[in-house]
């Protein structure tokens, strides 16, 4: 595909391809393809559109909304909503499909388009490919008169849809006997993004909450904050004596944690502690966890120790989702903090991840650092190399291939070498894992230098 990557379409907002005109083309094509795959009726002849807090989001929301109405569907503009919220509401409200305008953890200048099918799941590769084939079809018929779509206001519903999702997330916080009575203190970093307006409402009733980076201005999303910049959160957690810190990314589909000592708790540790708890309480469906090739060897060994089956996929939460559905599992995710719990929502959900972890802390009475020790992580080095041109050139260039092969032979049976192009940026990622941090760092730097020399 030329436009869809591992997480929708993403790039610099108001530049090729992410112009308002292109957002209209994508939406019009999506309507046509969805009608081809799913039966639409008067009950589901509408779509949901939402966004994170970027300055450019409104521009793309209105363009996409205009295209959907031009194609004959009504539009409900949810405005600022977590990606996980739009997934939940698509299924709950019975929409034809939904569009999320967001570039996730990218800086505010970027934006993106993610599309969810009527079941709340991200569209398959096959359907996205069909949308691309329809993008520049100029022979589309347009409805007229009463067949033109309308704009529906969220306030016309008995409960505004976004707050229905927020109430759902809050309802998952466990209460009753058997829980620690201590009111845990949480420091929550909203990344000045889609979670920012809602985290207080979800957590303040049962926790002592300190909020940081929850005042979005259109430009400060992900800027030195959130799950990609956790140093400031770690400092506050440690100095304040909080039980944990929670960091979301810009669209709140992932969450990472800081334990009470100031250490980062990543997606591998989150998945492991939740999966182990689910197994011990009889809730781990088919005794299965799905992860990606980026997961630490320590995670794999932890799951093996607890006799939990592991399936590994290519990077991308859509790949994890596909395997979970195929094997009828309910939990999986990525080291980056995208955690899917399909018994609760249809996509990675940072808010529900956060609720699940604090539930476990309250129920077990254990500190987050203790829970995270279920994974003894191997040293891992990740270098992101900015490249130009074909991101897959490293696979065929003789010098780069030779450098990679040297590292693979060196760490055979005692580590891993993984080289892959980013699905959303002009970057090749070099990851090496092993027992000796200096040794793997030197090898990763050698490969990165060769890629930089030949591909920059």
**Which tokens in the block code for residue 4?**
């869809």
Residue 1's pLDDT is what?
64
104 is catalytic: yes
The CATH fold assigned to 380-455 is TATA-Binding Protein (3.30.310)
Give the model confidence (pLDDT) of 89-135 as tens digits: 999 999 999 999 999 999 999 999 999 999 999 998 899 999 999 99
Class for domain 9-158, per CATH? alpha beta
Taking each helix axis from N to C end, the angle separating 125-134 and 20-37, rounded to the nearest 10 degrees, works out to 120
- Phi first, then psi: give them for residue 188, nearest 5 degrees: -115, 125
Give the model confidence (pLDDT) of 4-38 as tens digits: 988 899 999 999 999 999 999 999 999 999 999 98
Instruction: Give the model's confidence band at 69: pLDDT under 50 very low, under 70 low, under 90 confident, else very high.
Output: very high
Architecture field, domain 266-377: 3-Layer(aba) Sandwich (3.40)
The active-site residue out of 104, 322, 336, 356 is 104
Kindly state the average pLDDT of the residues 272-279.
98
Say how far apart CA 207 and CA 185 lie, in whole Å: 6
What is the SS3 string spanning 400-435?
Answer: HHHHHHHHHHHCCCCEEEEEEECCCCCEEEEEEEEC
State the average pLDDT for the chain.
Answer: 94
Kindly state the average pLDDT of the residues 77-86.
97
Give the model confidence (pLDDT) of 129-178 as tens digits: 999 999 988 777 899 999 999 999 888 787 899 999 999 999 999 988 77
Q: Is the pLDDT of residue 237 over 90?
A: yes
Kindly state the average pLDDT of the residues 321-343.
96
* Domain 185-264 in the same topology as domain 9-158: yes
Instruction: Give the model's confidence band at 424: pLDDT under 50 very low, under 70 low, under 90 confident, else very high.
Output: confident
Give the model confidence (pLDDT) of 239-274 as tens digits: 999 999 999 999 999 999 999 999 999 999 999 999
Q: Where are the domains of the chain?
A: 9-158, 185-264, 266-377, 380-455
Give the model confidence (pLDDT) of 193-233 as tens digits: 999 999 999 999 999 999 999 999 999 999 999 999 999 99
Strands (E), 27-73: 46-51
For tokens 């094997």, the residue is 327
The CATH fold assigned to 185-264 is Alpha-D-Glucose-1,6-Bisphosphate; Chain A, domain 3 (3.40.120)
Residue 182's pLDDT is what?
78
């Amino acid at each position: 595909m030329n436009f869809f990557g591992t997480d929708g379409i993403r790039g610099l907002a108001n530049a090729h391809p992410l112009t308002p005109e292109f957002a209209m083309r994508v939406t019009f094509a999506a309507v046509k393809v969805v009608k081809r795959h799913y039966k639409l009726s008067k009950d589901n002849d509408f779509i949901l559109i939402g966004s994170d807090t970027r300055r450019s989001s409104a521009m793309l929301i209105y363009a996409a909304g205009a295209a959907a109405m031009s194609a004959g569907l009504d539009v409900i503009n949810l405005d600022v909503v977590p990606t996980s919220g739009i997934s939940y509401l698509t299924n709950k409200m019975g929409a034809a499909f939904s569009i999320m305008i967001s570039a996730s953890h990218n800086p505010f200048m970027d934006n993106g388009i993610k599309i969810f099918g009527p079941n709340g799941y991200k569209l398959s590769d096959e359907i996205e490919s069909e949308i691309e084939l329809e993008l520049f079809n100029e022979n589309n018929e347009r409805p007229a008169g009463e067949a033109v779509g309308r704009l529906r206001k969220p306030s016309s519903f008995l409960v505004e849809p976004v707050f229905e999702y927020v109430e759902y997330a809050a309802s998952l916080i466990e209460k009753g006997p058997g829980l620690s009575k201590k009111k845990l203190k949480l420091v929550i970093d909203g990344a000045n993004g889609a979670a920012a307006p809602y985290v207080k409402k979800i957590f303040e009733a049962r926790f002592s909450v300190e909020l940081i980076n929850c005042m979005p201005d259109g430009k400060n999303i992900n800027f030195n904050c959130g799950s990609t910049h956790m140093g400031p959160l770690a400092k506050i957690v440690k100095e304040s004596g909080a039980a944990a810190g929670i960091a979301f990314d810009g669209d709140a589909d992932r969450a990472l944690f800081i334990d009470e000592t100031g250490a980062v708790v990543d997606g591998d540790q989150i998945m492991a502690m939740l999966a182990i708890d689910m197994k011990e309480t009889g809730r781990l469906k088919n005794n299965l966890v799905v992860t990606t090739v980026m997961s630490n060897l320590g995670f794999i060994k932890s799951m093996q120790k607890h006799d939990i089956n592991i399936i590994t996929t290519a990077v991308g939460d859509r790949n994890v989702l596909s395997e979970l559905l195929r094997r009828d599992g309910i939990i999986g995710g990525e080291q980056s903090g995208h955690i899917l719990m399909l018994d609760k929502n249809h996509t990675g959900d940072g808010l529900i991840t956060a609720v699940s972890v604090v539930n476990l802390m309250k129920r077990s009475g254990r500190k987050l650092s203790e829970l995270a020790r279920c994974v003894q992580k191997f040293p891992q080095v990740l270098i992101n190399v900015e490249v130009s041109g074909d991101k897959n050139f490293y696979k065929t260039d003789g010098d780069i291939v030779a450098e990679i092969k040297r590292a693979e032979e060196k760490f055979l049976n005692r580590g891993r070498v993984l080289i892959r192009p980013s699905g959303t940026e002009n970057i090749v990622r070099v990851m090496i894992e092993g027992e000796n941090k200096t040794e793997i760092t030197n090898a990763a730097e050698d490969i990165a230098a060769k890629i930089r020399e030949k591909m920059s």
